[in-house]
């Protein structure tokens, strides 16, 4: 059982999936923090019955805000050595989370980025693959990074670098802001492959392709933030 690595799950309207996701993770991780981001379904009631630390946003702000709140909470915990962000919709595999937990404790790098493009490129739907590649290309150019997947929710952070992670973008494009923070502060990083599970449910729930444009807009905003 992993005690010193916290799992952080941003949650918005996932009443049908969250229980299954948490039960799967609970077999390996003792500490799970869920930030309910103003869900309008019964997600909040579902997580009350689970053995997790629940934090509740009264309003829906966005994934970036939920991650920000979760990170600010975990920063204050004494028994946390690292944190892994994990999606609530069941897209991420628990085996990947275990690999990330193992690696973030052992490795010298301070952040591990998940990448769908390292081993499981062909699992990504073609159009999504194209948009993600384009966004990754733009982000890498602007932020002077060399990532293969800039918008993957599965990441691991060592606790000592959480003080740098101050997220101001509330939406899902906060990922670009994190990359900017990593680039600006020269935080060491590496990538690990992730096997994202694209079910019909997750495809319907997931980011729409038009959101790619919003991501580009938010990359522009994140450049101007600091």
Partner 1 sequence: MIFKIIFISIFFVTFIYGVIRPFSSIIAKVFIMVGSLLGILSLIGEKYAQMIAVSMGIGRGADLYLYLSLVTIFLFISFTVNRLDSVNKKISKLTKDIALHNANQEKTKK
Q: Are 37 and 61 in contact (CB under 8 A)?
A: yes
When the beta carbons of 128 and 180 are compared against partner 1, the nearer one is: 180
Q: How far apart, in whole angstroms, are the C-alpha atoms of residue 81 and residue 29? A: 13
Residue 50 φ/ψ, nearest 5 degrees:
-100, 155
Q: Does 35 bind partner 1 (CB under 8 A)?
A: yes
Stretch near partner 1 under the rule CB under 8 A, chosen from 53-61, 95-103, 111-119, 147-155: 53-61
Q: Does 73 bind partner 1 (CB under 8 A)?
A: yes
When the beta carbons of 72 and 93 are compared against partner 1, the nearer one is: 72
List the one residue from 16, 24, 26, 53 that touches partner 1 (CB under 8 A). Answer: 53
**Minimum distance from CB of 134 to partner 1 (Å)?**
27
Stretch near partner 1 under the rule CB under 8 A, chosen from 21-29, 58-66, 141-149, 197-205: 58-66
Judged by CB under 8 A, the chain residues 125 through 144 that form the site for partner 1 are none
List the one residue from 59, 106, 108, 200 that touches partner 1 (CB under 8 A). Answer: 59
Q: Does 176 bind partner 1 (CB under 8 A)?
A: no
| 191 three-state secondary structure | strand
**Minimum distance from CB of 6 to partner 1 (Å)?**
13
Burial 114-147 (b: 16+ CB within 10 A, else e): bbbbeebeeebeeebeebbbebbebbbebbebeb
List the one residue from 68, 110, 139, 152 that touches partner 1 (CB under 8 A). Answer: 68
Total interface residues for partner 1 by CB under 8 A = 18
In 3D space, the residue among 149, 94, 135, 48 whose CA is nearest the CA of residue 11 turns out to be 48
Q: Does 224 bind partner 1 (CB under 8 A)?
A: no
Q: Are 162 and 75 in contact (CB under 8 A)?
A: yes
Stretch near partner 1 under the rule CB under 8 A, chosen from 20-28, 41-49, 60-68, 205-213: 60-68
Sheet strands (E) in the chain: 5-11, 32-37, 53-57, 82-85, 111-115, 155-158, 189-193
Q: How far apart, in whole angstroms, are the C-alpha atoms of residue 113 and residue 101? A: 12
When the beta carbons of 12 and 113 are compared against partner 1, the nearer one is: 12
CB neighbourhood size of 69 (10 A) = 20
Residues that bind partner 1 in the complex, under the rule CB under 8 A: 35, 38, 53-59, 61, 65, 68-69, 72-73, 76, 168, 170
């Amino acid at each position: 059982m992993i005690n010193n690595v916290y799992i952080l799950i941003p949650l918005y309207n996932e009443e049908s999936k969250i229980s299954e996701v948490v039960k799967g993770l609970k077999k390996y991780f003792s500490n799970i923090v869920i930030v309910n981001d103003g869900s309008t379904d019964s997600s909040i009631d579902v997580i009350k019955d689970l053995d997790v630390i629940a934090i509740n946003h009264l309003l829906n702000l966005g994934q970036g805000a939920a991650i920000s709140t979760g990170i600010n909470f975990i920063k204050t915990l004494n028994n946390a050595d690292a944190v892994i962000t994990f999606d609530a919709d069941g897209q991420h595999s628990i085996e990947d989370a275990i690999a990330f937990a193992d690696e973030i404790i052992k490795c010298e790098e301070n952040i591990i980025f998940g990448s769908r493009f390292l081993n499981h490129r062909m699992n990504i739907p073609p159009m999504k693959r194209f948009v993600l590649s384009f966004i990754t290309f733009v982000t890498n150019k602007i932020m002077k990074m060399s990532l293969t997947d800039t918008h993957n929710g599965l990441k691991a952070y060592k606790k000592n670098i959480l003080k740098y992670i101050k997220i101001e973008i509330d939406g899902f494009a906060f990922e670009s802001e994190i990359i900017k923070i990593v680039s600006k502060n020269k935080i060491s990083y590496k990538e690990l492959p992730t096997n994202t599970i694209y079910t019909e449910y997750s495809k319907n729930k997931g980011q729409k392709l038009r959101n790619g444009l919003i991501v580009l807009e938010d990359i522009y905003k994140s450049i101007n933030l600091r």
